[in-house]
Structure 1
Amino acid sequence: MSRRRIKLIVAFTVAAITAFSFHAVSAAGPLKVYILAGQSNMQGSAHQSTFSAMRDDPAAAELLDVILDQNGDPVVCDNAWIAYRTGGRDGETVRQGKVEIGYGFDDQRIGPEYGFGIFIDQAIDEPVLIIKTAWGGKSLAVDFRPPGAGPYQPSANEKERGNVPEVESVGHYYREMIRFVQSTLRDTEGLTKLVPTYDASQGYELAGFVWFQGWNDMCNRHHIDQYTENMIHFIRDVRQEFDTPTLPFIVGILGVYGTDPDSRKFDKGLPVSDFRKAQFAAVEQYDQKVAARYRGNVVAVDSGPYYELGLSDIYWKRRLTGNWKQRVNQGQMTPEQFQAECDRYGFGDGELTAQEQRTWDRCASNAEYHYLGSGKTFIRFGNALAEAMLQLEKQRPV
């Protein structure tokens, strides 16, 4: 059975739209395996209820036509599957099945894997498997620390306060990530059950790796200072672990506050720009610091252009005015002081307008550091990751 023809955003411009026909649901070659890893924003907070708001933006509306089927329901991929390991309050969990809604924080949410999987699936003939590992609140300096980075060297402040990480915790999630990928790929029977089109005689091809993480390192100056070197070690070590020296590798750049965080008037104390520079530097310096066989095929994909700054303004208006109202009620702030703060930030009388409330209700489903739980953000970023990955694969040495 062939799939219906759809529009697929391709090339590397938002406006470039090319017609692709769905490939037949049969194995045309080795199973294409993509690894996605990171922390909470790789897990994904975007609720499917926010998808419809994409119609309001002409630049995003065409993407909505791709991710919804003819009945207006979110697409379930025909020839792309996912095995997802994560952890939370309920402990470690593994979910697997076709790429669809539900591989984010819960069964109603998505992370970058949804858009990435849909667009990769549409662009290639081979069956696709995404192996995703993501745990919230984890750092590269400690939790995902790669072997090549050596033992963690605590800061003077950590030593003074006695909160030096336990030796066993250093690199724990790096090891768990590698273990889950390896165990998934070694389980031929499990692969066949998960991916019905999987042909064991043709095997699989490790086709690419996407890393999307950073908030916890960004909140720690000691971690920022070592992030560039740690990321370089991480890329090289992953390639060595899987014996794939030219594995296409994408570093997803932290984009909370957009591409120019210093221009924002909220949360000015966070060193987001410094951290972004450390991430970009890892990609720029990578080839200079690794052996020749591990060089090339590493790119940065910035999530900043997809961050909804207008929605962020509403978030901060709700958050700050809510706090001030509470302080007024508790007698810690006078009504005059409340209004003065509103005037300082341009918040009017402190109440959301009808349009602001409507925008918030339709577009947001989580906090700012989780990209406001915006489907528009996660779908567009997933598409950008897929485009970059497809380009890297074209450039990969044979």
Structure 2
Amino acid sequence: MSGRKTGALLVLVLLALLGACSPAPECSSHQDCPPGQLCLSNRCQPGSPADGAADAGADPGRDAGADPGSDGADAGADPAGDAGADAGADAGADTGADPGADAAGDTGADAGDEAADSGPGDCLDPDGDGYGTGTSCLGPDCAPDDAERHPGAPELCNGLDDDCDGVPDQGGVCPQANPYLWVFLLAGQSNMVGLGVNSELGGADASGVNNVHIFCDLSVHNDGNPHCLHWVTPLVPGFGVLPDRFGPELSFGRRLHELWPNRSLAIIKIAEGGTALADRWAARDGDLYQLLVQQVTTQMNDLHIAWSPRLVAFVWMQGESDACSSDTANAYYLNLRNFIQALRQDLGVDLLPITAGLIADQPMWPEAGKVRDATSLLADHLGPMDVVETTDLPRHPDDLAHYDTAGQLELGRRFAEAVNALLADRDWEFPGDFSRAQGDGFWRYQACQGASCSLLSWDLFRRYWKNASATVLIGDGWVQPAESQAAEISWWAPWDGRIQVTASAVLAASGGDGTMVSIFRNERLLAGPRPLTAGSGASFDLLLDVEQGQRLRFITDSGSTADGELDRTTWQITVHMSRVAGD
């Protein structure tokens, strides 16, 4: 072989080796690649749009390195969880996560401002699935941060709109769930036990209440009332201290049924007369507290056989025994706070709405004023919580400690109206619901470093929330992150349903290096992160199916350095419940 031919062949071999071994060109979108190639894992590679949709490893919308359905950071605090809501999901269809464990996600478009910048021949496609904004795209994308969700994708049972038709989980992909049951917990001492007289009832008050179930455990009073210790349907008179007496549960259940005629309701009532919060009801140590938690846990487990029960509110009528001495009255605020916080944690409903009756202000209980003030003050500090007045309710002429028949009927109605006020909202807003109580409007304010978050404290004089070093701040419509801690506004779902979320974030100040904003559902990223610079903003429009206890987290991170007030980012957030499960 001649030297010329040998040299030419060597060049060809080297060129072939170069083509086979050199890394494919880097890219950030399909448009960066030659015809016939797609941008997969940031490299131009041969393929079709379907290949891009299947590239789960390059999906910036997934929680890399962890199962987004597990929500490990919420163990014990996220009662609804993700597991169990999506039985029947085809987990094998999701190469990056377990879709059967995530009960909610965004089904609306994440409307970032940059979408307006796309021009002819462009395709703004953050997730690389071929769908996005621009004439070169295969079509619009309802989930620009998730490559596995786009028009034509298979619909899974995961609470998401996988195929972008505007409806999550359609087509019978999910198994039929048990019907929903709204469960209300009633507890306290003798005015919760009840001494209303059945024979004095007339008209509708004497009849049963359809679609309302009741279970009662009246402790020492059970021997005298055979109605207790088993479920009874419908709710009827007779669940008081004796079978011919009743308490507030009768009109409470009737009024809730009038307010929510399409919902199945249940009442669990645990009460005993002459008992104090200072001892028998003491958080975790008192025997009645332990009975309360044990019975509620047992009954909720039993209800799961035929229902999908949700514990949605707690009603408390107690305090007379603690108003007998200054020591127990002075301790009532702290004791009630500990009781509520422990109960929420032990029952797994960390923002369980509370309604408490203010004991009657009368000389029979010399420290009644202190107990009443403590209860009202706690309602101002610990949300969501409200109180109802009872001093004006009529009492038995020969027994001024206890409400009579008319008094018990009115007490139950007042409790129902107060619970309805806590639960009736279908729209929650920040900053519209901003207050000094963590949990009011089901909003909470936190500082987060990675997966570790802590609640902020209220600054009474400056009227904003802050961490211990006052570097993370959340005020009326704005947040300020620190260099190592993000500022988080979170909304807690009070029940199951479908919500529409509209949100916008704007960084107004100039001079800093900007902030980053994102939205999570528990630990799953739904939208973002979006960088903000001076005068810029980001907007989001999400459609979600949520379960009780799941959290929407609106997070603001600083840039590479914290710039104090220059990092203040304004948020406008609206959460609208368009459908309540069970209605």
TM normalised by structure 1 equals: 0.58
Match of 1:207 among 309, 312, 326: 312
Paired position in structure 1 for 2:349: 244
Given the alignment of the two structures, is residue 383 of structure 1 paired with residue 384 of structure 2, yes or no? no
Match of 2:186 among 20, 36, 39: 36
Given the alignment of the two structures, is residue 138 of structure 1 paired with residue 281 of structure 2, yes or no? no
Given the alignment of the two structures, is residue 278 of structure 1 paired with residue 374 of structure 2, yes or no? yes
2:329·2:367 contact (CA, 8 Å) conserved in 1? Answer: no
Alpha-carbon distance between aligned partners in 2 of 1:207 and 1:394, rounded to the nearest angstrom: 12
Deviations 1:53-105 (A, max 9, x none): xxxxxxxxxxxx5x34xxxxx12011001000012366595243121100011
Alpha-carbon distance between aligned partners in 1 of 2:178 and 2:366, rounded to the nearest angstrom: 48
Deviations 1:117-136 (A, max 9, x none): 11112221121110010011
Alpha-carbon distance between aligned partners in 2 of 1:78 and 1:244, rounded to the nearest angstrom: 27
Match of 1:50 among 200, 212, 219: 200
Given the alignment of the two structures, is residue 82 of structure 1 paired with residue 205 of structure 2, yes or no? no
Alpha-carbon distance between aligned partners in 2 of 1:272 and 1:50, rounded to the nearest angstrom: 30
Q: Secondary structure at the match of 2:331?
A: helix
Deviation at 1:285, TM superposition (A): 3.0
1:39·1:212 contact (CA, 8 Å) conserved in 2? Answer: yes
Structure 2 counterpart of 1:281, which letter? L
Alpha-carbon distance between aligned partners in 1 of 2:353 and 2:379, rounded to the nearest angstrom: 12
Paired position in structure 1 for 2:15: none
Q: Secondary structure at the match of 2:278?
A: coil
Deviations 1:269-311 (A, max 9, x none): 722223222222222233xxxxxxxxx2111112223235xx6
Structure 2 counterpart of 1:280, which letter? S
Structure 2 counterpart of 1:42, which letter? M
Paired position in structure 2 for 1:108: 244
Structure 1 counterpart of 2:276, which letter? S
Given the alignment of the two structures, is residue 307 of structure 1 paired with residue 412 of structure 2, yes or no? no
Deviation at 1:142, TM superposition (A): 0.5
1:146·1:174 contact (CA, 8 Å) conserved in 2? Answer: yes
- Count of aligned residue pairs for this structure pair: 247
1:45·1:370 contact (CA, 8 Å) conserved in 2? Answer: yes
Shift of the 304–29 alpha-carbon distance from structure 1 to 2, 3 Å rule, reads farther
2:325·2:366 contact (CA, 8 Å) conserved in 1? Answer: no
Alpha-carbon distance between aligned partners in 2 of 1:112 and 1:46, rounded to the nearest angstrom: 9
2:211·2:264 contact (CA, 8 Å) conserved in 1? Answer: yes
Alpha-carbon distance between aligned partners in 1 of 2:230 and 2:247, rounded to the nearest angstrom: 14
1:70-219 map, 5 Å: 74-88=206-220, 91=223, 94-97=229-232, 98-124=234-260, 125-147=262-284, 170-188=285-303, 199-200=306-307, 203-219=308-324
1:104·1:110 contact (CA, 8 Å) conserved in 2? Answer: yes
1:30·1:205 contact (CA, 8 Å) conserved in 2? Answer: yes
Alpha-carbon distance between aligned partners in 2 of 1:120 and 1:89, rounded to the nearest angstrom: 26
Alpha-carbon distance between aligned partners in 1 of 2:221 and 2:264, rounded to the nearest angstrom: 33
2:221·2:272 contact (CA, 8 Å) conserved in 1? Answer: no
Alignment gaps of 5+ in structure 1: 1-26, 53-64, 69-73, 148-169, 193-198, 287-295, 316-366
Deviations 1:109-160 (A, max 9, x none): 111101101111222112111001001111101001014xxxxxxxxxxxxx
Structure 1 counterpart of 2:278, which letter? A
1:314-329 map, 5 Å: 315=398
Deviation at 1:51, TM superposition (A): 3.4
Alpha-carbon distance between aligned partners in 1 of 2:421 and 2:222, rounded to the nearest angstrom: 38
Shift of the 300–45 alpha-carbon distance from structure 1 to 2, 3 Å rule, reads same
2:187·2:270 contact (CA, 8 Å) conserved in 1? Answer: yes
Alpha-carbon distance between aligned partners in 2 of 1:389 and 1:28, rounded to the nearest angstrom: 25
Shift of the 88–121 alpha-carbon distance from structure 1 to 2, 3 Å rule, reads same
Deviation at 1:49, TM superposition (A): 3.0
1:29·1:126 contact (CA, 8 Å) conserved in 2? Answer: no
Shift of the 252–274 alpha-carbon distance from structure 1 to 2, 3 Å rule, reads same
Deviation at 1:29, TM superposition (A): 4.6
2:201·2:405 contact (CA, 8 Å) conserved in 1? Answer: yes
Structure having the higher strand fraction is: 2
Paired position in structure 2 for 1:235: 340
Alpha-carbon distance between aligned partners in 2 of 1:220 and 1:83, rounded to the nearest angstrom: 33
Structure 2 counterpart of 1:39, which letter? Q
Larger RCO of the pair (alpha carbons < 8 Å, separation 6+): 1
Deviation at 1:222, TM superposition (A): 1.2
Deviation at 1:47, TM superposition (A): 0.5
Structure 2 counterpart of 1:303, which letter? T
Paired position in structure 2 for 1:220: 325
Given the alignment of the two structures, is residue 253 of structure 1 paired with residue 385 of structure 2, yes or no? no
Alpha-carbon distance between aligned partners in 1 of 2:222 and 2:335, rounded to the nearest angstrom: 30
Structure 1 counterpart of 2:318, which letter? Q
Structure 2 counterpart of 1:46, which letter? G
Paired position in structure 2 for 1:370: 402
Alpha-carbon distance between aligned partners in 2 of 1:211 and 1:112, rounded to the nearest angstrom: 11
Q: Secondary structure at the match of 2:218?
A: strand
Deviation at 1:220, TM superposition (A): 2.2
Deviations 1:345-373 (A, max 9, x none): xxxxxxxxxxxxxxxxxxxxxx21112xx
Q: Secondary structure at the match of 1:303?
A: coil
Structure having the higher helix fraction is: 1
Shift of the 378–253 alpha-carbon distance from structure 1 to 2, 3 Å rule, reads same
Structure 2 counterpart of 1:96, which letter? W
1:80·1:99 contact (CA, 8 Å) conserved in 2? Answer: yes
Between structure 1 and structure 2, the one with the greater Rg is 2
Structure 1 counterpart of 2:187, which letter? A
Shift of the 128–90 alpha-carbon distance from structure 1 to 2, 3 Å rule, reads closer
Deviations 1:15-71 (A, max 9, x none): xxxxxxxxxxxx99510000001111110001023335xxxxxxxxxxxx5x34xxx
Percent identity of equivalent pairs: 25
Paired position in structure 2 for 1:61: none
Alpha-carbon distance between aligned partners in 1 of 2:223 and 2:198, rounded to the nearest angstrom: 24
Alpha-carbon distance between aligned partners in 1 of 2:294 and 2:352, rounded to the nearest angstrom: 18
Shift of the 89–182 alpha-carbon distance from structure 1 to 2, 3 Å rule, reads closer
Alpha-carbon distance between aligned partners in 2 of 1:282 and 1:307, rounded to the nearest angstrom: 26
TM normalised by structure 2 equals: 0.40
Alpha-carbon distance between aligned partners in 1 of 2:245 and 2:180, rounded to the nearest angstrom: 30
Structure 2 counterpart of 1:82, which letter? I
